[in-house]
Structure 1
Amino acid sequence: MYAPSLIRYGQTEPLPEPRMLRAGPLTMQYEHGFLRYIRLGNHEVLRLIYHAVRDPNWATAPMVIEDEIIDQQTDSFHVRYTSVCQNETVHLRWQCEIIGEPDGTIQFNIDGEALADFQRNRAGFCILHPIPECAGQPCTLTHPDGSQTVAPFPEGISPHQPFLNIREMQWPISNDGSAVLWFVGDVFETEDQRNWTDASYKTYCTPLSRAFPVLLQTGDTIQQSVELRLVGSFANPLDVEPNPSETALGFESKTLPLPVIGLGANPEALTDSAVHLLKAARFHHLRVEVNFQHHDWHGTFRKAVGDAVLLDLKLELVLIFNQLANYELYSFLKEPVEPSLVYSVTILSNFAKSTPATLLHEVTSPIRQAFPDAQIGAGTNAFFVAVNRQTPPLETVDFLSYAISPQAHAVDHLTLMENTTAQPDTVRDARHWTPNVHVSPVTLRPRFNPDATSDDADSTNNQMPFSTDPRQMALFGAAWTLASLKGLIQAEARSVTYYETVGEEGIIQGDFPSAYPNQFVAEAGMVFPLYWIFRFVNGFREGRVMPTTSSQPLKVEALCLQKDNKAVLILANLTDEPQTVSAPITRTVVVRTLDESSFRKACFSPESFREASGESLIPENEELLRFSLPPYATVFAEWEIRAV
């Protein structure tokens, strides 16, 4: 039997219990030492105030809280705790204090001491600003010398820091007032985290123009303070509109094409049962990386060709060149492959984060000759930031490509779900350069660290690599995938590629049990819940998308598809709490729910789950359908479209 926590999010540890705090007119959520969702009424003022220690590879050291004391009053609070940040190299202890006053002032103080010698890229505060409330708003910046400048929070994704050299910042949060952040102990600057598909702007300590990493010696100390205060007149502290108990869906009249959807290759041999399941999901293409830095690239490529033929898929080739690109391409083109099998070729470099013009000049023409029907593209194998800061020349290629992972900066459940809202912004901005945007691959965790300056600590034989996430096999993974797909599709990406075929980073476990049974609890033959997202969506290949809007996109998301006389609405609960959803659908639908009660059937008897007769749901007053979604559940509602 799978415990409810394993079914929901792939881990046995319970979720941290959030506590709601109030500082006068401000409400917020206190969780694991940090303040989240600081709101004035229903207006989000700040997304998160937190502190972190980043090592020379920009990895964040995990934090353990000790001696936590919370003194909570009706309109104020006082929190004190000790936290220890430690990984293979970092070891630092913080003494922390958070004070919330009845007038809406919040002060967060940290006093750190290095418990060992180590190097750090950053140690101290970060503040996240929400995109919807801040984008386009003017911000008054006070600099360390007392001078002031005014600049807006960027609406398009800013490739570089929009705000520099900050001591204080002030921006409007209502018609009558503003929020002010005041920093002590370091100089701050702001970056647009949508470059990494984080749904926030981040104001952080220590300008990147200063040399890093910095050596901290045992006994060295760090003191910082952040103060948030309100300026102006505000409503009574208790005049807060309650959160609506129901999420309302809306539908747009204009439909969009459904992009082609692919899957990443995996070195594991595909058995008959795996082939049967993967073919039933009707993907368009199989992604394979041919990295000429690896001596075994020939075998990787041949395996992928065989898998593509076996699965009746096209090939998405990603060619990653070294400095002898002409020779490497010559060697590659001697490999036997039917040219019509190749759907696309992405040209990348091991020596640049974004495809350089010189490489495109060398290899584009012979690749076109070898694969005349294939699309040729450029871009990056890493985050959107690489192409935003150095956009490759696109005059001689057909598309731009970049990868997505929601865990560049944080790994908690809330952040991952929040970050699905930033993915469409990257497609929107990329479409300013070319209408043909490919997102490949999309993974829960980054496959590698593009900013590492040294090797990360090796995983032991019984420890998962960082690229593996146990939420892949849980309901959480399906809900996240649906929210991600909806955003990328409605932003009009032309091609998207997710995950791998089998294994811990795939959509099914395959015929071998998990290699990390204590951390990734998946049995041989298991179908992961996110498999069902693709199986239903790809059932509408070459169909149309009816764009949806959600009144609470951090709680519930939806994707609606139609083809011929059939339609499906896929709903995902992005939270650990039950949700109710209303949709303006005027006909009876057949509903299948993927939740804790159906988990075993969906994962271990997939055909019986798909073929089982769903439950009929009848609209209320012939106007509205109301759905109940258990925690992290996905609902598939199908109906036939009446002929006009």
Structure 2
Amino acid sequence: MQTVEALAVALTGTAQTESEPVRLAAGPLAVEFDGGGLRYVCYGEVEVIRAISFLARDENWGTHALKLEDVQIEQRDDAFEVRFRGTCGPGGTELQLSASIVGRANGQLEFNASATLAGDLLTNRTGFVVLHPLDVSGRPVVVETVDGQCTSTHFPEKIDPFQPFRDIRALTTQHSDALSVEVRMEGDTFEMEDQRNWSDASFKTYVRPLALPWPYTLAKGSTLAQSVKVTVQAARPADANRPVAGATPDTATAPARIRLDADAREQRAVPQLGIGVRAEDLDTALQHAAELHALNPAYFIAHLDLRHDAPATAVPRFAQLADTAHVPYVLEVVLTGDGHPADELRHVAAAASGRSSPIALQVSPAPDLKAVLPGSPWPPCPSFDDIFAAARAAFPGTPLGGGTFAYFTELNRKRPPFDKLDYATFTTCPIVHAADDRSVMETLATLPFIANSATALAGNTPYRVGPCTIASRDNPYGAATLPNETGHGAKRICLTDNDPRQRALYGAAWNLGYFAAFAAGGATHIALSELTGPRGLFDSGKPTPLFRLLASLAQARGAYRANLTVDPGRLPLAAFAAKQDASTTLWIANLSAQTNRVELDVGGTAGTTANTAANAAPNATAKGATIARWLPGVDFANAPPRHVPLTAGTFKLEPYETAEIRLLASMP
């Protein structure tokens, strides 16, 4: 029997627990009070606001943790009220906050905050942040500016690289013909950014325009007061058939339904699966060459940063790793940005001469690893034309990629000449703005928007993604990634380079969702994780659940995507299927911390259709079908999960469980 702490470590890689939100309701208005902020503001079954929080960010865009004091909550049938005090800052007490929240059954919600500075506070942003959910993408909105002017427009469909709306006083969003919601923000000038750029599942309206200087100092003794008021206008309480994203459901949840046609396949091939290897991790990577061979990815990305990596030393060792593991490599080169691209790339090419050559080359200047916020000047940097010409000359005939080694945001804001590339590349990171378990999983819902926007940007040029992990391999928005504790004491921290969930069942589930989303979105190559290091595939030298998942996905090389339809029901679920000549394989992951019921319906000659009636006994899903499960207690260090017969069309997935189901192509 596992202890509570051991189970938490198996699921999320850390013994640190997350606070339980307090659910409050006033008639059809419902919210979660969590850590001093509100989440999932719903009217009936419609989520109208994703979150409202009063935040203080430091000079590196990190968020100071708010320590709550004197929390008072009153719940009545027709109203709820929350009052609390809190402190935060680099020393913990520089900002002293007093706040109140009142919600009423008539659809009105008001959040007031008053802050007093007990000491000087250097900040990039302090004040309210309001998040609208993904559902508003493309929907009508009326923007009222601080001068009282109102403009009717729409939330952007494609991801806006900058601020879609500025100088905001209020936003009135049309959620349906029968439901509109006004959000009025007082106390400062607000503007909005499209947080889908960073894979956040929201549009963020925040205080203090970026055009103003930052960081700035809130002086000791100063005060600031702000408020957010939400007003719902509804012809009826809400659309009862519409699920609420993210909110914790009742125990009696609708099951997820998966329909798999085991005979038919799509024309699109399964993306090539890769992983990353950084030059500073080559010692440990070479020690795990046998495991890299067993993993058998299509390639690994050899990351070479010319600011501190010596090509003459690193490149031969990348080639050695490729030869030993029998896995080819893509050479990813960060140019210094202050030298001559042609000279730097000639040195790299000379280091690769006479050895196993890279199967592709992707290059980017170091200045492009740092974000340039709207209104800020671009730093001096060699031009794309000069960089790509130098790369072609140094590595003639080698496929060339470019774009950004940072996040999609940077690709969206600084777009290369895609027609001069063989492929475009970028990465993402789910812990830029929030690092709690639900927020990180919610980023998967944003990936289709990123895929659509990337395709629109690149045109006929294919795109590749990665290496991507939950942790941040670089911090484009500050001096460095944030440190974290080691082992099971590691915490959930924004922009850390060492996220504990990488090593746990949560990490395998998230990565399956990531692969499935970009496979559906047209990526030709997807690199996940790194071989070793803090974002690696080993925990105390032993393979993690993610190692086993990637080894399983790697077996689908050369396969085609199978026809798959997923209805996730009330809990988030990820699924991906690949069809080969002799079999069809389905991977499923439960993306929630609750047990998820799944109804699997297999069509075609691979099996009979499952009986999904709620009051009927389930029939066989497919004769001879087998399932392997990633569960707490599985010995991932010594063997992959064992396949056992799958005999029922309905089964359960435990929290963050991943399962692999295999079906023969044709059965009697």
Q: TM-score, normalised by structure 2?
A: 0.86
One-letter code of the match for 2:331? Answer: L
Q: 1:447 aligns with which of 469, 473, 480?
A: 473
Matched residue, 1:504: 534
One-letter code of the match for 2:464? Answer: H
Question: Deviation per CA, 1:487-544, whole angstroms, max 9, x where unpaired?
Answer: 01110101111221123310123xxxxxxxxxxxxx3x32111112211111111101
Separation in structure 2 between the aligned mates of residue 461 and residue 101 of structure 1, nearest angstrom:
45
Question: Deviation per CA, 1:139-198, whole angstroms, max 9, x where unpaired?
Answer: 111112211111100011011111111111111123223101011111111111111111
User: Equivalent pairs: percent with the same residue?
Assistant: 27
Separation in structure 1 between the aligned mates of residue 238 and residue 414 of structure 2, nearest angstrom:
49
Matched residue, 1:302: 316
Q: Closer, same or farther in 2 for the Cα pair 1:346/1:626, shift >3 Å?
A: same
Q: Closer, same or farther in 2 for the Cα pair 1:271/1:164, shift >3 Å?
A: closer
Q: Closer, same or farther in 2 for the Cα pair 1:36/1:549, shift >3 Å?
A: farther
Matched residue, 2:338: 323
Q: Closer, same or farther in 2 for the Cα pair 1:283/1:218, shift >3 Å?
A: same
Separation in structure 1 between the aligned mates of residue 155 and residue 382 of structure 2, nearest angstrom:
35
Question: Deviation per CA, 1:317-340, whole angstroms, max 9, x where unpaired?
Answer: 111112322221222222134576
Matched residue, 2:517: 487
CA RMSD of aligned residues (A): 2.8
Question: Deviation per CA, 1:558-617, whole angstroms, max 9, x where unpaired?
Answer: 11112111111111111111110112123132111111142xx12x222xx35x4x2212
Matched residue, 1:616: 645
Separation in structure 1 between the aligned mates of residue 198 and residue 257 of structure 2, nearest angstrom:
29
Separation in structure 1 between the aligned mates of residue 368 and residue 242 of structure 2, nearest angstrom:
50
Matched residue, 2:406: 382
Separation in structure 2 between the aligned mates of residue 194 and residue 6 of structure 1, nearest angstrom:
30
Question: Deviation per CA, 1:305-357, whole angstroms, max 9, x where unpaired?
Answer: 22122211111111111232222122222213457631221120113359999
Deviates more, 1:295-304 or 1:139-148: 295-304
Q: 1:471 aligns with which of 494, 501, 509?
A: 501
- Conserved? CA contact 2:198–2:409, under 8 Å: yes
Separation in structure 2 between the aligned mates of residue 479 and residue 277 of structure 1, nearest angstrom:
21
Aligned pairs (5 A) from 1:52-201 = 52-87=55-90, 91-131=94-134, 133-201=135-203
Q: CA deviation at 1:257?
A: 0.9
Q: Closer, same or farther in 2 for the Cα pair 1:102/1:305, shift >3 Å?
A: same
Q: CA deviation at 1:460?
A: 9.1
- 5+ residue gaps in structure 2? 244-248, 372-377, 603-607, 609-621
Q: Closer, same or farther in 2 for the Cα pair 1:302/1:272, shift >3 Å?
A: closer
Separation in structure 2 between the aligned mates of residue 457 and residue 533 of structure 1, nearest angstrom:
27
Separation in structure 2 between the aligned mates of residue 483 and residue 546 of structure 1, nearest angstrom:
16
What secondary structure sits across from 2:438 in the alignment?
helix
Q: 2:365 aligns with which of 349, 358, 361?
A: 349
Deviates more, 1:292-301 or 1:121-130: 292-301
What secondary structure sits across from 2:236 in the alignment?
coil
Separation in structure 1 between the aligned mates of residue 366 and residue 79 of structure 2, nearest angstrom:
53
- Conserved? CA contact 1:480–1:574, under 8 Å: yes
- Conserved? CA contact 1:26–1:237, under 8 Å: no
Q: CA deviation at 1:459?
A: 7.3
Q: CA deviation at 1:118?
A: 2.3
Q: 2:277 aligns with which of 251, 265, 270?
A: 265
Q: Closer, same or farther in 2 for the Cα pair 1:618/1:154, shift >3 Å?
A: same
Separation in structure 2 between the aligned mates of residue 237 and residue 138 of structure 1, nearest angstrom:
18
Separation in structure 2 between the aligned mates of residue 146 and residue 15 of structure 1, nearest angstrom:
42
Tell me, yes or no, if structure 1 residue 583 matches structure 2 residue 600. Answer: yes
Q: CA deviation at 1:409?
A: 0.6
Q: CA deviation at 1:33?
A: 2.0
Matched residue, 1:517: none
- 5+ residue gaps in structure 1? 510-522, 620-624
Matched residue, 1:249: 258
Q: CA deviation at 1:546?
A: 2.1
Separation in structure 1 between the aligned mates of residue 566 and residue 431 of structure 2, nearest angstrom:
24
What secondary structure sits across from 2:359 in the alignment?
strand
Matched residue, 2:632: 596
Question: Deviation per CA, 1:432-453, whole angstroms, max 9, x where unpaired?
Answer: 223410112212122222122x
- Conserved? CA contact 1:55–1:89, under 8 Å: no
- Conserved? CA contact 1:119–1:216, under 8 Å: yes
